[in-house]
Structure 1
Amino acid sequence: MNEFGATLRAWRDRMSPAVVGLPVSRNRRTKGLRREELAELSGISVDYLVRLEQGRFTTPSEQVAAALARALQLSAAERDHLYRLAGLNAPGAAEITDHIPPSVQRVVRRLDHAAVAVFAADWQLIWWNRGWAALCGDPSRVPPHLRNFARDTFLPGPAQLSAYGVTSLVAGAPQAALVADLRRATGRFPGSRRLTALIDELTTGSETFARLWVDGVVGAHRTDQKIIDHPLAGPVAVDCDVLTDGDADLKIVIMSAEPDSDDETKLRLAVLSGADAVPGT
C-alpha cells in the first residue's frame, strides 16, 4: 500500500483552492486542488507529483516534503506524519524548520499591499508574495540552497536574493543586528546542523562577520530602512520590519512605504509592474 501517495492525495483533495488565492468557478469539477496547482504551489513538476501520488517514487527530499507541507497548509502534527511516511526524520526542536503554520500563511497572504517574505530562523528564505518578487526581483531565479539573507549580506555573490540595488539607511547597524539574531538562533537551536554549517561558512568567509561574531552580542533583527533601486519605479524608500513567530522563530519581513508619500506611489508602481510575478512557496 502506498500510504504516502494516498495521504498526499487525500490532503490535496481536501484543500480549498480559495484558501490559497485561486479562483473557484462553478464549472470546476475538482473539489480540492488540481495536481498542477499543488505542483506550482510546491515548486515541483506535475510529473514528479504524479509519481509521488502513484507510489512510483516514495522518498522525496526534506526540501520537497517541507514545500508540500507549506502548500497544503498542514498542521505541525500532519507535517511530521508526512515526513515519517517519506522516511524522513520529522523536524524537531533541535533543528531549524521551514514549516510555516497555516495561521501564519493566512495572515501573510492577506498582506497584498506590501512586499512580504518569510525566512526561517537561519534567514533562509522560504516564502514570498508577488509584491516581494515585484519589488526586489523574483527569488526563484536563485538556487534554493543559496536563498539565504545572511549569506547574501556577508558573502555577496552573483546569485543574490535582490536583483536590484539595495542600500540600508542605517549604516552598519543591520549587519550587527543580523549577527546578533543568528547568535540568538544558536541558543534556540543548539543542535541544528544547518545553522552550524552556516555560521562556519560565514566565519571563514567574512572578516566582518567573524569580527561581529566574536563580540558575542545576542539580540533580534527587528527593523531597517532601505532604498531599493527599482528599474521601473526608480529609487523606493521602504521601512523594513521583522516580526518573529513562535517557537520556530520564523522571520516575517514586511516592506512598506510611508502612507501618502511619493515612495508609496512608487511602491505601488513597482508592484503593478510585477503583477505576473509568481509568489514563492
Structure 2
Amino acid sequence: MDRARLAGFLRARREALQPEDVGLPRGRRRRTRGLRREEVALLSDVSVDYYVRLEQERGPHPSEQTLAALARGLRLSIEERDHLFRLGGYLAPQPARRADHINPGMLRVFDGLGDAAAQVLNHVGETLTQTRLAVALHGDETAYSGLARSLHYRWFADPGSRAHYPEEDHTARSRLVAGDLHAAFSRDGAGSRAAEIVDALLARSPEFADIWRTHPVPGPCRATERLLHPQVGALELQCQTLLDPDLSQRLLVYTATPGSESAEKLRLLAVLGHRPWSSDVRADGGFGDSPSVEELGGQVGARPTIAAGCHRRRRRPVLADGSDARSLHEKLGAPMSVDHSHHIENPNSTTPPPQVELIGSVPTPPMPESSEAMTIHVTLPPGSAGSPPHRHTGPAFGYVVEGEMIFELEGEPERVVRAGETFWEPGGDVIHYQDGNNLADAQSRFVVTMFGVPDQPMLIPVSAEELEERKSRRAPRP
C-alpha cells in the first residue's frame, strides 16, 4: 500500500469533483476547491474521521469494499477505480466483478433523479443503487447477498418475490426474466456470474429449466408494469429504461400517468417512505414464512407473501369501542379533565430546570387493539398539495415545525395550522382531505405520530368513487 500516493490521488479526485456533479448544493460560503471531505465521506458511506485519516496518510489499511465505496463516491471511471485498488495494495478487480461499479455517466443521470422512483441494475439483475422512492416502491433490493442479489435468481428461487406482481402476469414475466439472463449468459460465457446463476437455477427450479431449454431471447420490454404494494395496493406504472453503452448496466425509472390513481399512490409513498414488508423478522434473516438465508443463497431478508386480494380496497377499520369517529372528535375537542404536571423538580440538580410549554392535549381516543405507532417527519415543498385524501386506521397527533399547513378532516372546515401549533385526528372512518403547504414560496414541515392496526398500512388512499359518494359529508369549502 502506497499511503502517500493513495492520499494524493483521493485528494486530487475530490478537488476535481464539483457539488453539482453529485447533486449537492454549492452554497454561498464554499471555499473548498471541489468537494468537502465530509461530502465525500457521506457519498461513500464511510465516517468523516476515517476519510480524513486516509487523506492524511494515516489510519488503517482500507479494505477492498471500502475502496469500492470510495470509487463510487468519487465517481471514478473503471480505469481510475483500478488505479485506486492498486494504490491500496490490491489487484485490480477482474472484469466479472466490474458489474458492481456504477459507471460515472450513469451515476450522474441517477443523481438528478432524487425525487423519482429510479434504480440502477447490472446485466444480471443485481440492484446497485436506489432512490428513496424506489426503496419505498420495491423494498431495499441492495440488502441481499450471495446469489439472491440477482432479481433473476429471486424470481425463480423465492416464491415470495412474485407477490409484488399480479398472478396473471407471472408467466410472461418468467419468460422475460429468463430471456434477460440468457442474453447475459451468451455474452459472458462459462465461468461468469451469469453462468453461476444459471447453473444454480437449473438445479433448483423446474420452471426455469423448462424455459431455458427453449433458448429464450429478450423480448420487447413491457412498457407498463402492474405492481402490488403492501401499503398502497395496486399500481400501474410506466418503466423507462436507459442502457449504458456497453450494456453492462441499466437505469430504470418508474412513472405514473399524471392525475391517475397510481400517480396519487406514488405521491403517498413518497410521504410514507420505506417500511419493512413484515415485522416478523426471523433469526435467520428471513421474514414471515419466506425462505431462510441459506435457502435463498445468502439473502439478507426475503419479502413475505402478500395476502391474496391485497390490491383491492381494504376493509374499513372500526374504532375500538365502535363509536362514530366524527362525534368522537367533537367530544375530545374539550380540555383534559385534570391539569397535569409536565415537569418534576430535581432536588439533586444544580443546573437550570428545563423550560416546558404545553402546546396541546386531548383525552386519549380509543386505540385499535395491539396498536402500532409510527412517527414521521414530513417536508412539504412550496405549494405542495400534500397527500391525496386518505384514512388512518387509528388516531394521529402532529405538530407543525415550520411554515403553515392546510388541514381538513371530513365534516370540518379546512383550517391553517401554523408553526408551533398542533393538530390531531381520530382515524377510523373519517377521511383526511388535506395536509398541504399553505405557502407558495416557502417549504413547510410537520411531525406526526400515527397509531394503526397491525398488518394494515398507516395511510389508506380513498378512491375517487368513494369521495363522490361521500361528498355531502364534506364541509363547505371557501
Classify the TM-score, shorter chain: 0.7 to 0.9
Q: Whole-Å Cα distance in 2 between the matches of residues 220 and 132 of structure 1?
A: 24
Partner of 1:225: 225
Q: Whole-Å Cα distance in 1 between the matches of residues 46 and 190 of structure 2?
A: 29
**Is contact 1:97–1:120 with CA below 8 Å preserved after alignment?**
yes
Compute the displacement of 1:119 (Å). Answer: 0.6
**Structure 1 residues 221, 208: closer, same or farther in 2, change over 3 A?**
farther
Q: 1:79 aligns with which of 56, 78, 81?
A: 81
Compute the displacement of 1:8 (Å). Answer: 1.9
Compute the displacement of 1:47 (Å). Answer: 5.0
**Structure 1 residues 182, 139: closer, same or farther in 2, change over 3 A?**
closer
Compute the displacement of 1:46 (Å). Answer: 4.0
**Structure 1 residues 31, 138: closer, same or farther in 2, change over 3 A?**
farther
Q: Whole-Å Cα distance in 2 between the matches of residues 213 and 85 of structure 1?
A: 43
Compute the displacement of 1:132 (Å). Answer: 0.5
Q: Whole-Å Cα distance in 2 between the matches of residues 47 and 192 of structure 1?
A: 40
Partner of 2:397: none
Q: Find the residue that maps to 1:170 and give its secondary structure.
A: helix
**Structure 1 residues 8, 91: closer, same or farther in 2, change over 3 A?**
farther
Q: 2:92 aligns with which of 89, 94, 106?
A: 89
The alignment status of 1:133 with 2:130, answered yes or no, reads no
The alignment status of 1:236 with 2:238, answered yes or no, reads no
What's the C-alpha RMSD, in Å, of the aligned pairs? 3.1
Q: Find the residue that maps to 2:234 and give its secondary structure.
A: strand
**Structure 1 residues 209, 68: closer, same or farther in 2, change over 3 A?**
farther
**Structure 1 residues 213, 268: closer, same or farther in 2, change over 3 A?**
same
**Is contact 1:155–1:205 with CA below 8 Å preserved after alignment?**
yes
Q: Find the residue that maps to 1:172 and give its secondary structure.
A: helix
Q: Whole-Å Cα distance in 1 between the matches of residues 115 and 259 of structure 2?
A: 13
Q: Which has the higher helix share?
A: 1
Compute the displacement of 1:124 (Å). Answer: 0.9
**Structure 1 residues 212, 242: closer, same or farther in 2, change over 3 A?**
farther
Compute the displacement of 1:220 (Å). Answer: 5.7
Compute the displacement of 1:118 (Å). Answer: 0.7
Q: Whole-Å Cα distance in 1 between the matches of residues 172 and 139 of structure 2?
A: 24
Q: Whole-Å Cα distance in 2 between the matches of residues 74 and 30 of structure 1?
A: 20
**Is contact 1:96–1:189 with CA below 8 Å preserved after alignment?**
no
**Structure 1 residues 196, 79: closer, same or farther in 2, change over 3 A?**
same
Partner of 1:152: 154
**Structure 1 residues 74, 268: closer, same or farther in 2, change over 3 A?**
same
Compute the displacement of 1:123 (Å). Answer: 0.8
Most deviating of 123-132 and 11-20 = 11-20
**Is contact 1:166–1:227 with CA below 8 Å preserved after alignment?**
yes
**Is contact 2:137–2:229 with CA below 8 Å preserved after alignment?**
no
Partner of 1:167: 165
Q: Whole-Å Cα distance in 2 between the matches of residues 74 and 42 of structure 1?
A: 12
Partner of 2:415: none
* Unaligned 5+ runs, structure 1: none
Compute the displacement of 1:256 (Å). Answer: 1.4
Compute the displacement of 1:185 (Å). Answer: 0.7
Q: Find the residue that maps to 1:119 and give its secondary structure.
A: strand
**Structure 1 residues 269, 124: closer, same or farther in 2, change over 3 A?**
same
Q: Which amino acid aligns with 2:245?
A: G
Deviation per CA, 1:38-81, whole angstroms, max 9, x where unpaired?
Answer: 233223444554554435444522x4433322221122322232
Q: Whole-Å Cα distance in 2 between the matches of residues 49 and 214 of structure 1?
A: 50
Partner of 2:210: 211
Most deviating of 41-50 and 165-174 = 41-50
Q: 2:22 aligns with which of 10, 14, 20?
A: 20
Partner of 1:66: 68
Partner of 1:194: 193
Q: Whole-Å Cα distance in 1 between the matches of residues 201 and 190 of structure 2?
A: 18
**Structure 1 residues 77, 89: closer, same or farther in 2, change over 3 A?**
closer
Q: Which amino acid aligns with 1:264?
A: A
Q: Whole-Å Cα distance in 2 between the matches of residues 191 and 31 of structure 1?
A: 47
Q: Whole-Å Cα distance in 2 between the matches of residues 5 and 70 of structure 1?
A: 17
Compute the displacement of 1:156 (Å). Answer: 1.7
Q: Find the residue that maps to 1:7 and give its secondary structure.
A: helix
Deviation per CA, 1:67-99, whole angstroms, max 9, x where unpaired?
Answer: 32222112232223223323122443x655223
TM-score when normalising by structure 2: 0.50
Q: Whole-Å Cα distance in 2 between the matches of residues 12 and 235 of structure 1?
A: 44
**Structure 1 residues 126, 69: closer, same or farther in 2, change over 3 A?**
same
Q: Which amino acid aligns with 2:100?
A: D
Compute the displacement of 1:10 (Å). Answer: 2.3
**Structure 1 residues 255, 46: closer, same or farther in 2, change over 3 A?**
same
Q: Whole-Å Cα distance in 2 between the matches of residues 195 and 181 of structure 1?
A: 10
Q: 2:112 aligns with which of 110, 114, 118?
A: 110
Q: Whole-Å Cα distance in 1 between the matches of residues 211 and 120 of structure 2?
A: 25
**Structure 1 residues 42, 30: closer, same or farther in 2, change over 3 A?**
same
Select the structure with the greater relative contact order (CA < 8 A; seq sep ≥ 6): 1
Q: Find the residue that maps to 2:251 and give its secondary structure.
A: strand
Q: Which amino acid aligns with 1:120?
A: N
Compute the displacement of 1:177 (Å). Answer: 1.2
Q: Percent identity?
A: 34
Q: Whole-Å Cα distance in 1 between the matches of residues 156 and 37 of structure 2?
A: 39
TM-score when normalising by structure 1: 0.80
Partner of 1:270: 269
Compute the displacement of 1:173 (Å). Answer: 1.2
**Is contact 1:73–1:105 with CA below 8 Å preserved after alignment?**
yes
Q: Which amino acid aligns with 1:39?
A: A
* Unaligned 5+ runs, structure 2: 275-376, 379-478
Q: Whole-Å Cα distance in 2 between the matches of residues 14 and 78 of structure 1?
A: 13
Deviation per CA, 1:212-262, whole angstroms, max 9, x where unpaired?
Answer: 22222222673351223152x443222234432221421222211123211
- Aligned length in residues: 269
